[in-house]
Structure 1
Amino acid sequence: MARTLIELVITVGFITTVLSLTQSSPSTSLLLHEEPRPAMLLPLFHTPPITTSRSSSNSRRLLQRSNARMRLYDDLLHGYYTTLLWIGTPPQRFALIVDTGSSVTYVPCSTCEDCGRHQDPKFQPDLSSTYQPVKCSLDCNCNRESGQCVYERQYAEMSTSSGVLGEDLISFGNLSELEPQRAVFGCENVETGDLYSQRADGIMGLGSGDLSIMDQLVDKGVINDSFSLCYGGMGVGGGAMVLGGISPPTEMVFAHSNPVRSPYYNIDLKEIHVAGKPLPLNPNVFDGKHGTVMDSGTTYAYLPEAAFVAFKDAIMKELHSFQKIRGPDPNYNDICFSGAGSDVSELSKTFPAVDMVFSNGQKLSLSPENYLFRHSKVNGAYCLGIFQNGNDPTTLLGGIIVRNTLVMYDREHSKIGFWKTNCSELWERLHISGETPNRENSTAKIPPTLAPAEAPYYGLPRELPIGKITFNLLVNISYSDLEPHITELAKFIADDLDVNTSQVHLLNLTSIGNDSLIRWAIFPAGSSHYISNATAARIIARFAEHRMQLPGTFGSYQLVGWTIEPLAERYIIFHFTESSCSS
């Protein structure tokens, strides 16, 4: 389902004024679309990596002073991106949706009886030695019975979250320079709608407000007032996030963002060009209500009626040679075209370029993957991922617009920057560059209680270096459907196991009924001749304890066996399991 995580009605824990948006129901004026978008609509195609020397050198220059560097994980089925955050002492892990339209970070609390079943266990305050409840004061909404501050949130998709406020240590992983910090967050007691049914644990609120994780870190003086997000390309996913300042690449274009104009991150969009021709629109069309809003928690993009009609007509004029077909879901009147082919890198040869022009004259060029999603039932067919925003004059730009684009939210200077790059590869480029602290030194800044625990060795010889790890996965997706996406799956596995993509090799792919059996191998990284015992143990632990996370698009998987081959080739260690895990 397309995510719509801009906050609608807000009862804040600390007093913060936020304007409400129209409710997302078929009977009212809409912010986004008449109904939530169906879950199966996000595509699964690979975008070739951009490996020019210019982009690589820029990635090495990106980082400034202390900041939190975090990997992004995608859920292609439901259209959102998550990152990992640890709360408490000892740390409890959570997968949180990164959302610029939300102003509070929250996770399910152990006391919640109305919370869904999510990726990780609920937060248990009693198990954290550093947890403290936020007691009532003059500047918070108070539960008089408990004497504790409370929060409530409602979103445009009509899901809600409410609970109490607590304070604890929040840590960002061992590849981040930023030390764990005390921060206020929400401990959920009730969640409804998509928040209840989603796989992610909760929300990381990156919006503005006293409870925002950004505002809290900036107020402490530990980071600059800026953060950056980079979402992967069509169907590839993955990406990176940086909390704190970066040095913008020379090719980055900027738009002014007025914090007074709207409670949401906005840009001064003035024109849209299709195939080099400006749409015949009054520039004020993009300035209605909340203006043009950037929202990382929304999947698609939504334009006011006049802008949408002009955009749709201009696109269709350029695609007169394509056949217009019905969309994948009969509940939606999607605009779809067939005959384009399945190679995403070739789409720009058949679909027109689109430019978004800002008031300063700078423009953000959009490739077809920034305004199309793949038809889930017809090969080589694509649909417009830009929709009419009902009767609401707000322009809302969701994640589709910034695929393969590094977006820098420079709050200090009231501007938002855009740089086209390969976001799926950005994390790896930053990880291997000199700007990233090495693993041995990075844990030194984190208290022992927050450092990752050593994985069990699962029978591995402790003193013998490992030459190769092989494993078999049985995935409940047919060979014909899986084979075109095997490269994407390899990338997902590498990201989840925290190894380089070049280390993961496909050995064999066979069909077993309606399922597919895949044999993979993991080799040493780069110039290394072996895999350390600790690394091998960590990888096997993710298999054996069913902690490997694959996108829901691939359904469920079953680990049917793994093999460890020590470098000396004197031992073969084999482990077999019949247990399964839902992706």
Structure 2
Amino acid sequence: MTESSTIMLSDWEYLIEIYIGTPPVKQLAIADTASEITWTQCQPCLSCCKQIQPIFNPMKSSSYKVMSCRSSDCQSKRRDPNINVKCNRMFINSKCHYGITYNDGSTRNGVLGYEMYKLGSRSILKMAYGCAYDNRGEFHETSAGIVGLGSGNLSFIGQIRKLIGGKFSYCLVDRSKQNAKSKINFGSNAIVSGPGVVSTPLVTKSPREWYHVTLEGVSVRNTRIPFNIGVAKYMKDVVKEGNIVIDSGTTMTHLPTDMYQKLENTLRGAIKAIPVEDPTGELSLCYKNVNNFRIPTIIFHFARGADVALETNNTIAPYSGLLCLAIIPSDDLAIYGNLSQMNRS
């Protein structure tokens, strides 16, 4: 299978164009490599967030089918700690209800089912799909939901893995080009080659739904900061394989706190400008928003010599009227966010 779809920028998120149902309904949903379940808001809504696109109505689709609690797909998700699956034991063929809580505290609740997806020119039957009818918390109105690009069995990728040979690739367009579009490619089209291309191994570890890679360190000019100068609480060993997750659904890159602090201190000494305090208190390295502001290149050193040079537009973002470092400290999970991936994936 060789297909592609459009991917585009909307605020701080990247949206994929998909078609679901019969007849097919166009939906723009967040491209998220750290999510498994693909879902959109559905009618009838108990509590739906505002969205610009029409909310999908599964009752108008001839290919929609509710997932039974007795199905193997539902049973597999009942053992998944990241998804809260509930079934009514009083009814043999009860619906497979699910709930997801994201890092920002927002929740999405709905019913798992099966639906037809259209990808490029190909229609794919009986794809696991979440109809979300109770959605609370942060939600950007340009999006209809999430396309789960994680590696779990019920993710979009997991369900078409054999068709695409386990291969997909994408390019995230520059944020300065708001109307620009690019492609997410599947199958043989997904192979990226040519001058300047680097690669690093994916590491299989828990949670298996995520794409783990190994970050050995970062450098600014002649200063190299190894990953093991600080160890996140969730890690038992230093410089462990698969120590950072590639997440297209998260904007900022998260580094272990000690490593981040060393990076911030290095940048403060290298940037010829006076830092300005963020009035929200959320980001610690900010500067006045002036034209042509630049910071030194930050190189991320991944395993097997995969060095990725991040320029100012990958590492500095407008925030509260200022320009702030879009890398933040974390004592939990190290994340390689979409700003770092922009024009680099």
Q: Same fold (TM over 0.5)?
A: yes
Aligned residue type for 1:337: Y
Q: 1:284 to 1:269 in 2, by over 3 A?
A: farther
* Alpha-carbon distance in structure 2 between the residues aligned to 1:261 and 1:168: 28
- Post-superposition offset of 1:285: 3.9
Q: How does 1:322-361 map to 2 (within 5 A)?
A: 322-327=273-278, 329-338=279-288, 341-343=290-292, 350-361=294-305
Aligned residue type for 2:183: A
TM-score by length of 2: 0.85
Residue number in structure 1 paired with 2:224: 278
Q: 1:279 to 1:70 in 2, by over 3 A?
A: same
- Post-superposition offset of 1:315: 0.7
Match of 2:109 among 158, 162, 166: 162
Aligned residue type for 1:72: I
8 Å contact 1:101–1:206 — kept in the other structure?
yes
Match of 1:244 among 163, 183, 187: 187
Where 2:22 maps in the other structure, the secondary structure is coil
Match of 2:45 among 77, 99, 112: 112
Match of 2:5 among 61, 70, 73: 70
Q: 1:333 to 1:223 in 2, by over 3 A?
A: closer
In structure 2, the gaps of 5 or more residues are 75-84, 236-241
Q: How does 1:216-295 map to 2 (within 5 A)?
A: 216-218=159-161, 221-237=162-178, 238-245=181-188, 246-250=190-194, 251-263=196-208, 264-279=210-225, 282=228, 285=231, 289=235, 291-295=243-247
8 Å contact 1:279–1:314 — kept in the other structure?
no
* Alpha-carbon distance in structure 1 between the residues aligned to 2:244 and 2:6: 27
Q: Deviations over 1:135-164 (max 9, x none)?
A: 232532534446222222111111111211
* Alpha-carbon distance in structure 1 between the residues aligned to 2:338 and 2:257: 20
* Alpha-carbon distance in structure 2 between the residues aligned to 1:118 and 1:198: 4
Which structure dedicates a bigger proportion of its chain to strand?
A: 2
8 Å contact 2:108–2:135 — kept in the other structure?
yes
* Highest RCO, 1 vs 2 (Cα 8 Å, sep ≥ 6): 2
8 Å contact 2:18–2:118 — kept in the other structure?
yes
Q: Deviations over 1:159-196 (max 9, x none)?
A: 11121112121113xxx35344431101112111114x
Aligned residue type for 2:191: S
Q: Deviations over 1:237-256 (max 9, x none)?
A: 44321233422213321122
Residue number in structure 1 paired with 2:338: 399
Residue number in structure 1 paired with 2:251: 299
- Post-superposition offset of 1:286: 7.4
Where 2:59 maps in the other structure, the secondary structure is helix
Q: Deviations over 1:381-410 (max 9, x none)?
A: x32111111x32x2111111111112xxxx
* Alpha-carbon distance in structure 1 between the residues aligned to 2:227 and 2:149: 32
* Alpha-carbon distance in structure 1 between the residues aligned to 2:200 and 2:213: 6
If you compute each CA radius of gyration, which structure gives the higher value, 1 or 2?
A: 1
Where 2:171 maps in the other structure, the secondary structure is strand
**Matched-pair identity in %:** 25
Residue number in structure 1 paired with 2:324: 383
Q: 1:333 to 1:179 in 2, by over 3 A?
A: closer
1:178 and 2:122 are equivalent in the alignment = yes
- Post-superposition offset of 1:272: 0.7
- Post-superposition offset of 1:281: 5.6
Residue number in structure 1 paired with 2:152: 209
Instruction: Give the number of equivalent residue pairs.
Output: 320
Q: 1:370 to 1:333 in 2, by over 3 A?
A: closer
8 Å contact 2:230–2:258 — kept in the other structure?
no
Q: Deviations over 1:254-283 (max 9, x none)?
A: 122112254321111011111132126636
* Alpha-carbon distance in structure 2 between the residues aligned to 1:194 and 1:104: 18
Q: 1:368 to 1:333 in 2, by over 3 A?
A: closer
Residue number in structure 2 paired with 1:191: 135
* Alpha-carbon distance in structure 2 between the residues aligned to 1:125 and 1:330: 42
* Alpha-carbon distance in structure 2 between the residues aligned to 1:281 and 1:99: 25
Q: Deviations over 1:430-475 (max 9, x none)?
A: xxxxxxxxxxxxxxxxxxxxxxxxxxxxxxxxxxxxxxxxxxxxxx
Residue number in structure 2 paired with 1:99: 32
Q: 1:280 to 1:112 in 2, by over 3 A?
A: closer
Q: 1:215 to 1:376 in 2, by over 3 A?
A: same
* Alpha-carbon distance in structure 1 between the residues aligned to 2:95 and 2:329: 42
Residue number in structure 2 paired with 1:436: none
Which structure dedicates a bigger proportion of its chain to helix?
A: 1
Where 2:122 maps in the other structure, the secondary structure is coil
* Alpha-carbon distance in structure 2 between the residues aligned to 1:280 and 1:258: 19
* Alpha-carbon distance in structure 2 between the residues aligned to 1:202 and 1:362: 33
Q: 1:338 to 1:125 in 2, by over 3 A?
A: closer
Aligned residue type for 1:315: L
